[in-house]
Structure 1
């Protein structure tokens, strides 16, 4: 296998001509010079005069240690793209590798095409340097502002999952993925190695992982870099990869070894795809992986202030930290920068010379100009079927029941069928698709699977588009990569366990917010969550499965990006799904039940109600065109049922009370309009909820979220919210709402307690409600089931 284990190692035969070697090394030196210049310089970019303190940035920010290795990969990926005419994308995993990727895109010209003021000359180079990690400039990591990127480098662990997501259903695409050895220690990355068991060599592109081992994290050695090569080799082979090792610190030998390794890897990939596509081979492919070992901070200062730097953790960020104040550091920086011989790499006007650009591809083949990295350019409208074909008939509210997610599953199966040939829609989930009642998609899409099968297995399909693996991290990463390269999808998950990806969705929301502000980035399909098996129907699994807080987490984020929907029945779920699957640049969270629940709205009523986001259900209230005495509000399927049951009890026991029932589908409607695009103006909110009447709000999740959303409203002092209070166990469905004071009897008691003048005349009614709760507790402990009056309840009873 290609290797350059020592500076005097014999290079692989015929890997490069001498002319190619010189060109590659020139490009690499130029990229290293630009990377170091971005960290340090704000003037004198070509060193046309002696370096002085005035040329140095006042704050030195950035990460040098990983940059030489990333520059090396950028240089060599350029070579193979140009030589083979590849369509390629690179995912840059090492966290703060921004200087390298910016350098590569500036050299190839893609950066200047997007940002014309950062032209490929001395003036543009100075702006490139000055903008890096500078107020009003660009971050130190690979961010949305960087052309050619689909991966936010600010948080580690997601690069390989993103790479596979980009490769799925892109059969002509090579996705190179540089994995830093610090990143390789994270849980999400560890799970990502199993993605090769899901990569279809017929319909998918290829992923080439490049494990870059430079030995250190911020302050400690990295685990994989300290493994003996045979042990690391065995680990990667155990993951199903065929490793190619490239090791060394002599540039010429490493260039030759890496070129040979890339050629061998790409030859293996081409062979695997050809035998699968043309000869029908079905054996699981053992895809190549390159292990690249180079010194941390390679080509930078070997020693600073008498302490070793190159090849140690001290090279991680800024090797020379006091350049403005310390003349020795200034002198050493100038020696370092001049060691790249910039006068050989750039002409007098600062333009890269011909040799530097000899290996650079052209047009859309350049890494920074790849349309795959600006996925909205490749997005096609999703062919969504008519909802009428899947909606359930509702002649009278509450007269029938359906499982909402099962109804949605039939709809999604049709979407899967209608995209069978174009292959740009996938459903992902952590082994819960059938549990979440979406199994109809299996018949249309099958479950992607390249590993071994047994006769008892069902729905496994080498070409499947339903992705199931018991790693929420991996599902999230796959889908993000898929969406950011222009395709569509849905992530279904148990509500309690979607928290596992809290940090990942943070990063995706930040990415979308920034991308929306960049006119050159085309909108991409939204990240859509379907959260089911939710808190109120996890009575059988117990406390560990009861957590509705993901909505709180998401609603803390940018209002330009986040949306939250709580459809109360099957038809509203269909309407919401149709909407979110058509949307762009959002994170949509949809919470819906999988258990049978009542059908409240007809298809047409559901469309209108979802378009409003919140509205009065006249048929459920008793205000009869007058002013209400109290508003019963609800959001979520179980809270809606409890509010309607409470309204029915009030109609029976307090017939003169004017009750308004309001259902909220879109939680962001509760915000003021100046806080969220979906928010209601005050006059609309007051018209719906009133400005001075008691509002009893039954909410699906933690009650304080509703208070937070509505705290600026005039009627907030009258708002009383019931929701999940972190009281759960293994019990009956109705006991879950009783334990958390969300049940119908408690809601009636709340009305009596809060409507002025009701406390005395309705005292006996309140006592009846309290007695019902007492009977409930005794009944479930004796019978193990809910009270008959609850279990057999319906709106029309």
Structure 2
């Protein structure tokens, strides 16, 4: 593909060079000042120990490189009038992003008390990594950010997620060379095979090689340039290299590189959009090599610092106690010539701001980094159009996720023109029975397409790649820039993103406390192919613990739903997709499942979150002798089968059946907004009657949620206890003592007086488990009485 001409020029004028360098020096000064100073921000008097923070925190090593990128992005955004967003992969370089947003004015607009003058500079410095201030990392508090970056590996996935379906957006992404060693980042290079040059924006990766991590060299920085170049070209990029430590020359080279990259991007997009060229674009990227801790102290106490790992965090320690270090810090700060950069009142001088764009074009003011300003409500179809008919409980069976697939197809169809809904998953959309969505949109794919392939579409909005990390990162970037989506995954393998969802929950919790951040669409998980129906794949595919992980997190943000059938799944999904600022985890089966509730009943039950199924019990308006509780589709079926056995064998027993859809309802009201008051909980579960709880996951979670309740001593939970293998579906519940026969035995063991009166019934239940054991080993299938079971009251 021919290169574009360079209409914006390939060489800086002397004036451009002077103003760019002034801005960069100002940003470096402000970044260093935040790490060290709590007073005397303009160095109007000699530095004294009391001007220095008592605890020196922050990361200097990456900051000069980030400042260089910010400075040069300003120039091209202003010159080309671009909509742009930048993802700061080395998010621990918080001082630089704070410094630049303060310089451009977006920080003072967001926080009016941090004015763009001397007093405001003092506040900016003091608050950094200080009690009552702001974190040392790029964080939700920082204007222009959608990426925290404290945990490395996710920047490039977030960048692509932000670019999807934003055709006019440039997403620059600074990738640190330490971050580049992580697995998620290594996989993220393949995101360019999913970026549609017609409907999506552009991602410009900037691989920043400064040579070191905390204590060790970085792999990519030690590769010969030819080998690194070949690697990146193999990923499908056209690298542009910028290398050096002479500031003025690096400015010139960086300006040329950005102009070259943006001209190539413009040509690729124009060609795809006007000529419908089917070939996959080879997008440009920049490889930037500069010293770690560039422009900082060259040596400290006789050992090299600049260009080594020693510059990673605080290059001059003990400044308060060491007069020599104090003088060295003063000389370092004065090397930026702050009197040339700020006037006597601390305002940035005009030449410092000459290349800074205006208004929403500023990186700290772009609405794309505050996606709640852009998000629109999804067009939600009527649930009745997809609900399954339920004349009586348990008379029919459906695959819940297949039913949901029709609902999602309609949403995908209704968002065809506006393109703000995506379904992501690790190669499992059809496996998870959601393939109806392919009627509305194919799978995004820019690589080669063969005649035997199905549903691949260069303009598709279903994203499949066998990397849970990328699915999560893409969707986070998509949501945080103002769109909607759903992540479907096998339950056992969603754990791969445990750390990522943890970071997203922390981001949402902090963002909810910032009045200027508008609510974004929730991150919605559909976990299926779950533990109880992974009998064919075996032990490796059996792990329901993601719910435990999520429920450890901020209660303001997390929600967990276990719908027991197709209509309750529709109701829960409808609620989740309408919600804002949550992480919603929905666990539902894809195998045929009994239909228990009509759509109207499902709506009421899901709104309640937990409730009595009076048609399944035998309390008949009186006080129950025992409560059979359940959460999850398979546990619900086993509880209802147990209730049926009790009705048949112990008709005098008053049994209450309680189904829980919303797991957070079990928590105390003061611990979670959905939690029940003690009055509600006691009314539902009683204070003194045995409660046999059949739960989808690990049983101790239920105890943890309910341990403060009055009736907790009477609570007995059955669930998954790490007993799995390749076996029959019913054998899975038997192996974990969740089966109907064990539940009846639990009732007999725990209701006072039944141990003697119902001894024969208990023996029958134990014998049924023995028959099951022998039958499956002889026939390879479940007992007929189990396989052919249906509900009848």
Q: TM over 0.5: same fold?
A: yes
SS in 2 for 1:164: helix
Q: Which residue of 1 aligns with 2:638?
A: 642
Please show how residues 401-416 of structure 1 align to structure 2 within 5 Å.
401-416=397-412
**Alignment partner of 1:280 is 2:281:** no
- Residue of structure 1 in register with 2:171 after alignment: 175
Corresponding residue of 1:16: 12
- Residue 216 (1) aligns with residue 212 (2): yes
* Alignment correspondent of 2:446: 450
1:542 aligns with 2:528: no
TM-score (normalizing by structure 2): 0.99
Other-structure match for 1:234: 230
User: Could you say which residue in structure 1 is the equivalent of 2:562?
Assistant: 566
- Give the Cα–Cα distance (whole angstroms) in 2 for the partners of residues 503 and 687 of structure 1: 38
Q: Tell me which residue corresponds to 2:191.
A: 195
Deviation, 1:445, is 1.3
After superposition, where does 1:391-470 map in structure 2 within 5 Å? 391-470=387-466
In the alignment, which residue of structure 1 is the partner of 2:4? none
Aligned match of 2:603 in 600, 607, 610? 607
Q: Are 1:263 and 2:259 an aligned pair?
A: yes
Matches within 5 A, 1:119-138: 119-138=115-134
What is the alpha-carbon distance in structure 1 between the residues aligned to residue 69 and residue 504 of structure 2? 25
Q: In structure 2, what is the equivalent of residue 301 of structure 1?
A: 297
Shift of 1:13: 8.6
Is the counterpart of residue 342 in structure 1 residue 338 in structure 2? yes
Q: Distance in 1 between matches of 2:168 and 2:212?
A: 35
| SS of the residue 1:33 aligns to | helix
In structure 2, C-alpha distance between the alignment counterparts of 1:444 and 1:360, rounded to whole Å: 43
Return the alpha-carbon distance in structure 2 between the equivalents of residues 117 and 129 of structure 1.
13
3-state secondary structure, aligned to 2:753 = coil
**Corresponding position of 1:3:** none
Matched, 1:379 2:375: yes
CA contact (8 A) 2:108 2:116 kept: yes
On the 8 A contact 2:17/2:248 being kept in 1, the answer is yes
Asked if 1:722 corresponds to 2:705, the answer is: no
What's the CA shift string for 1:551-574, capped at 9, x where partnerless? 000000000000000000000000
Q: Cα RMSD between the aligned structures?
A: 0.8
Q: 1:672 aligns with which of 668, 674, 685?
A: 668
- Inter-partner Cα distance in structure 2 for 1:465 and 1:443: 12
Q: What does residue range 357-376 of structure 1 map to in structure 2 within 5 Å?
A: 357-376=353-372
Question: In the alignment, is residue 745 of structure 1 matched against residue 772 of structure 2?
Answer: no
Contact 2:644–2:792 (CA under 8 A) maintained in structure 1: no
> Of the candidates 92, 95, 101, which is equivalent to residue 96 of structure 1?
92
Is 1:244 the equivalent of 2:243? Answer: no
Q: What corresponds to 1:504 in structure 2?
A: 500
Secondary structure at the counterpart of residue 208 of structure 2: strand
Secondary structure at 1:642's aligned position in 2?
Answer: helix
Alpha-carbon distance between aligned partners in 1 of 2:629 and 2:550, rounded to the nearest angstrom: 22
- Give the SS at the match of 1:621: coil
The answer for the alignment partner of 2:26 in structure 1 is 30
Q: Deviations over 1:349-391 (max 9, x none)?
A: 0000000000000000000000000000000000010000000
Residue number in structure 2 paired with 1:587: 583
Cα distance in structure 2, aligned partners of 1:553 and 1:348: 53
Question: Residues of 2 paired with 1:220 and 1:184: CA distance?
Answer: 14
Q: Distance between the aligned counterparts of 1:706 and 1:150, measured in 2?
A: 35
Describe the SS at the equivalent of 1:631.
strand
1:109 corresponds to: 105
CA contact (8 A) 2:10 2:255 kept: no
Partner of 2:58: 62
Between the aligned partners of 1:69 and 1:339, the Cα distance in structure 2 is: 17
Q: 3-state DSSP class of the match of 1:283?
A: coil
User: What are the Cα deviations for residues 178-206 of structure 1, in whole angstroms up to 9, with x where unaligned?
Assistant: 00000000000000000000000000000
How far off its partner does 1:279 sit? 1.3
3-state SS, counterpart of residue 135 of structure 1: coil
Note if 1:486 corresponds to 2:482. Answer: yes
Superimposed CA distance per residue, residues 401-433 of structure 1 (whole angstroms, 9 cap, x where no aligned partner): 000000000000000000000000000000000
Please, which runs of 5 or more residues in structure 1 have no aligned partner? 1-11
Q: 2:692 aligns with which of 690, 696, 711?
A: 696
Cα distance in 2 for partners of 1:253, 1:338 equals 22
Deviations 1:191-240 (CA, angstroms, capped at 9, x unpaired):
00000000000000000000000000000000000000000000000000
Q: Is the 8 A contact 2:589 2:633 kept in 1?
A: yes
How many Å apart are 1:95 and its aligned residue? 3.5
In structure 1, distance between residues paired with 2:368 and 2:141: 15
Tell me how far apart the structure 2 counterparts of residues 249 and 464 of structure 1 sit (CA, whole Å). Answer: 44
Deviation at 1:278, TM superposition (A): 1.1
- Partner of residue 5, structure 2: none
2:778 counterpart SS class: helix
Whole-Å separation in 1 of the counterparts to 2:503 and 2:331: 39
> Structure 2 CA distance, aligned partners of 1:154 and 1:565?
30
SS at 2:600 equivalent: helix
Q: Does 2:164 align with 1:150?
A: no
Shift of 1:442: 1.0
Structure 2 counterpart of 1:319: 315
Is 2:657 the partner of 1:661? Answer: yes
SS in 2 for 1:620: coil
Alignment deviations for residues 522-578 of structure 1 (CA, whole Å, 9 cap, x no partner) = 000000000000000000000000000000000000000000000000000000000
2:379 partner SS: coil
CA distance in 1 between counterparts of 2:246 and 2:501 reads: 41
**What does residue 521 of structure 1 align with?**
517
Matches of 1:261 and 1:603, distance apart in 2: 58
Q: Secondary structure at the match of 1:774?
A: helix
Tell me by how many angstroms 1:154 deviates: 1.0
Query: SS of the counterpart of 2:757?
Result: coil
1:774 aligns with 2:770: yes
Give 1:796 shift.
2.7
1:329 pairs with 2:322? no
Q: Which residue of 2 aligns with 1:617?
A: 613
Q: What CA distance in whole angstroms lies between the structure 1 residues aligned with 2:335 and 2:679?
A: 68
Whole-angstrom CA distance in 1 between matches of 2:670 and 2:215: 45
Q: Structure 2 CA distance, aligned partners of 1:95 and 1:616?
A: 49
Q: Equivalents in 2 of 1:643, 1:293: separation in Å? A: 63
CA distance in 2, matches of 1:765, 1:614: 30
Mapped to 2, the partners of 1:132 and 1:513 lie a distance apart of 20
Partner of 2:751: 755
Give the match's secondary structure for 1:234.
Answer: helix
C-alpha distance in structure 1 between counterparts of 2:138 and 2:158, whole Å:
14
Separation in structure 2 between the aligned mates of residue 280 and residue 540 of structure 1, nearest angstrom: 45
Q: Distance in 1 between matches of 2:493 and 2:668?
A: 30
The alpha-carbon deviation at position 739 of structure 1 amounts to 0.1
Quick check: 2:163–2:169 contact (8 Å CA) kept in 1? yes
Q: What residue in structure 2 maps to residue 711 of structure 1? A: 707
8 Å contact 2:10–2:259 — kept in the other structure? no
Query: 1:14, CA displacement in angstroms?
Result: 4.5
CA distance in 2, matches of 1:538, 1:402: 18
TM-score of the two chains, using structure 1 as the length reference: 0.98
Q: Distance in 2 between matches of 1:273 and 1:794?
A: 58
